Amino acid sequence: MCLAVPAKVIEIAPDGASGRVEVGGVVKPVSFALLDHVTLGDYVLIHVGFALSRIDPEEAKKTLALFAQMAEAAG
């Protein structure tokens, strides 16, 4: 639950604890206190100003492929 939105990391502060992310062209400051090893270009889930989790691009692709597969099976 809880509204969390996928956002792209566009800036990381030198201490790595905070930065800025972008959603559809809107930029927001965010805390990385809950995540380690965030890199520029990562997509993270943002909730109340904190990044909760990284979005794994490989797993994301797998999910989309699965949609297509399940959908095809239905005919």
Contact 54, 35 (CB under 8 A): yes
Based on CB atoms, which residue is closest to another protein, 14 or 36? 36
- Residue 49: its H or E element: none
Tell me whether residue 40 or residue 63 sits nearer to another protein (CB atom).
63
Q: How far is the CB of 62 from another protein (least distance, A)?
A: 7
- Pick the closer one to another protein by CB: 3 or 15: 3
- Residues found near another protein in the complex (CB under 8 A): 1-8, 23-29, 31, 33-36, 43, 45-50, 52-57, 59-60, 62-64, 66-68, 70-75
Q: Give CA–CA dist 75/65, Å, rounded.
A: 16
* SS3 label, residue 14: coil
Q: Name residue 19's beta-bridge partners.
A: 12, 30
